[in-house]
A and B are shown apart, each in its own frame.
Chain A
Amino acid sequence: MIRYIYGTDLVRHPRLRDGMFRDRADQFVTRLGWDLPLRPDGAEVDQYDALDPLYVIWEKADGSHGGSMRLLPTTGRTMVNEHFTDLIGGGTIVSPLIWECTRFCLARETDPRTAAALMLAGGEVMHGFGVEHYVGVFDARMVRIYRRIGASPEVLGTTGEGRGAISIGLWEFTPEAQARVAQSAGIAPDQSRRWFDDAFGRTPLRAAAASAA
């Protein structure tokens, strides 16, 4: 299932938290060879994790971390604006309607539909909170995955080569794209909305619709 968890609340989900930081180390450092510092316990945690981001996490049936991404508003500090401005032609991208999405991570043995489920959840966030675009940092391997699930970003710039390449991309979510992603994820729109409501509360209209169903 999809979980939406702010950084300050990770303490209540120690298994997901530890799994996420360990799987990030495995993906970005072990598999992709990025030069990122690891904590002594092997966790990949950076300064943006300290900014109380909103994590979107795929929780596997056994309760472990299957994949995740990290969201921050671009009106505050972001990785793109502090480290990748050369890739977006210099300067910064700042707007309350644009959020940043980074550290898109898939655990090694996760469910095949994890990436699509995360993107579907990204669409729920946009729809639920009035976000119009994501600007994201992602690794080369993700290009193919995003294309396969029907959620290709527009690439603004790329640095590095081969498996080490890092790109900045933009997403917007049209209803058509959202429908494609839902299909790739094999998750019914109602189910997806329910997970969102579990995290952020249900509106009375949705509550009424649900009880009538």
Chain B
Amino acid sequence: MGYVSTIGSIDRVLAGLDSAEGIDDLQALSERIRDEYGITNVVYHWVNSNGDQYGCGTYSEAWVLRYLERKYVRIDPVILGCYQRFHPVEWKRLDWSSRAARGFLADAIEHGVGNQGYSIPIRGPNGQFALFTCNDSCDDATWADFIERNRRDMILLAHDFNRKALDLEPDRTPDRAVTLSPREVDALTLLAVGYSRAQVASTLSISEHTLRVYIESARHKLGAVNTTHAVARALQRGAIVV
């Protein structure tokens, strides 16, 4: 898988996320991410402060039912290791040494869950907590290489996925408009009119390093995949005017 095709993947997925209009679309998107990145499973799960749960993903129905029936949430090392954290977790870094955990893993693998996983916990607003997981069956070196190449995509996808899920919540107050900071607006505006990064930085009297942070923050707020996309979205939404 080349660099170019990976960029294409996240681009396509984020475009799909943007146009998602309901929970069913999120299910389809989890399948899409799985296929774009060529892995076994993609799973998204969230709990809010009222204890309401929602999940979608590519685990088999049999596994989801089994998980619930066996109340695996109590012993699942991924849940125990991620809950209320905010750093991404490699499954193999977790403690699988207990008998219960080993039995759980064997059962999971029997139900089509891969032996490798990377889970990204997200602390949302008002006590909301979500977990975005990519999962595959492969050896350690292959997985380490996959994560090395795709970790950034997965972190960005996880957060954008969660934002979309929050937006689609039934009782949600209308979507907050994207508010870019004055410096983010300046940076995107100058990029939109064709300034190079170096020219933007010098015009704003900041370093290119600082400029990168403003662009990244704007990109995240706009749910964009890269700088070009962020500029296009900012224009589309009227967040910048040129």
CB of A111 within 8 A of chain B?
Answer: no
CB-nearest residue of chain A to B163: A75
Is A54 touching B213 in the complex (CB atoms < 8 A)? no
Known A8-B84, A154-B210, A156-B210; judge A76-B123 contact (CB<8 A).
yes
Q: Bits for A5-20, please: 1 = Cβ < 8 Å to B, else 0.
A: 0101000000000000
Pick the residue among B81, B84, B155, B179 that contacts A96 (CB under 8 A): B155
The answer to whether A95 touches B183, judged by C-beta atoms less than 8 angstroms apart, is: no
Contact A205 B122 (CB under 8 A): no
**Contact B123–A75 (Cβ < 8 Å):** yes
Contact partner of A90 among B88, B144, B181, CB < 8 A?
B181
Pairwise interchain contact B93-A89, C-beta atoms closer than 8 A: no
> Closest A-chain residue to B83, C-beta based?
A8
B216 touches A97 (CB 8 A): yes
Interface string of B201-224 (1 = CB under 8 A from A): 000000101101110110111000
Contact A202 B182 (CB under 8 A): no
Interface locus among A30-38, A62-70, A127-135, A178-186:
A127-135
Asked if B111 is an interface residue, CB under 8 A from chain A, the answer is: no
CB distance from A70 to the nearest CB of B (A): 13
Tell me, yes or no, whether B234 is within 8 Å of chain A by CB: no
Instruction: Check if B182 sits within 8 Å of A95, measured CB to CB.
Output: no
Chain B neighbourhood of A47, CB < 8 A: none
Among residues of B, the one whose C-beta sits closest to the C-beta of A171 is: B209
B159 interfacial contact with A, CB 8 Å: yes
* CB-based contact A170/B210 at 8 Å: yes
Closest B residue to A73 by beta carbon equals B86
A98 adjacent to B213 (CB under 8 Å): yes
Contact status A91-B88, CB under 8 Å: no
**A133 adjacent to B213 (CB under 8 Å):** yes
List chain B residues, Cβ under 8 A from A1. Answer: none
List residues of B (123-145) whose CB comes within 8 Å of A's CBs. Answer: 123, 140-141, 144
CB distance B210 to A203 under 8 Å?
Answer: no
A204-B90 Cα distance, complex, nearest whole Å: 10
Given A75-B122, A93-B217: A204 and B181 interface contact (C-beta under 8 Å): no
Chain B residue nearest to A125 (CB atoms) is B87
B13 on the interface (CB 8 Å rule)?
no
Whether A95 lies near B86 (C-beta < 8 A) is: no
Contact with A along B77-94 (1 / 0, CB 8 A): 000010011111110111
Residue A85 at the chain B interface, CB threshold 8 Å: yes
Cross-chain contact B92 with A92 (CB below 8 angstroms): no
A203 touching B90, Cβ below 8 Å: yes
B213 & A130 in contact (Cβ 8 Å cutoff): no
The answer for the CA separation of A158 and B212 in the assembled complex, in Å, is 20
Contact B216 A98 (CB under 8 A): yes
- 10 A-B pairs with the lowest CB-CB distances in the bound complex, closest first: A91-B181, A201-B93, A95-B220, A89-B183, A204-B140, A96-B159, A129-B87, A93-B217, A90-B182, A130-B151
Besides A133-B213, A205-B144, 11 more A-B contacts (Cβ < 8 Å) are A54-B86, A74-B217, A76-B86, A91-B180, A95-B220, A125-B87, A129-B87, A172-B209, A172-B212, A200-B93, A203-B140
A–B complex contacts, Cβ < 8 Å, 23 sampled: A8-B84, A52-B84, A54-B86, A90-B183, A91-B180, A91-B181, A91-B183, A93-B181, A97-B152, A97-B155, A97-B220, A98-B217, A129-B87, A130-B151, A132-B216, A133-B212, A135-B213, A156-B210, A172-B209, A201-B81, A201-B94, A203-B92, A205-B144
A-to-B contact residues, CB < 8 Å: 6, 8, 52, 54, 72-76, 85, 88-98, 125, 128-130, 132-133, 135, 154, 156, 170, 172, 197, 200-205, 208
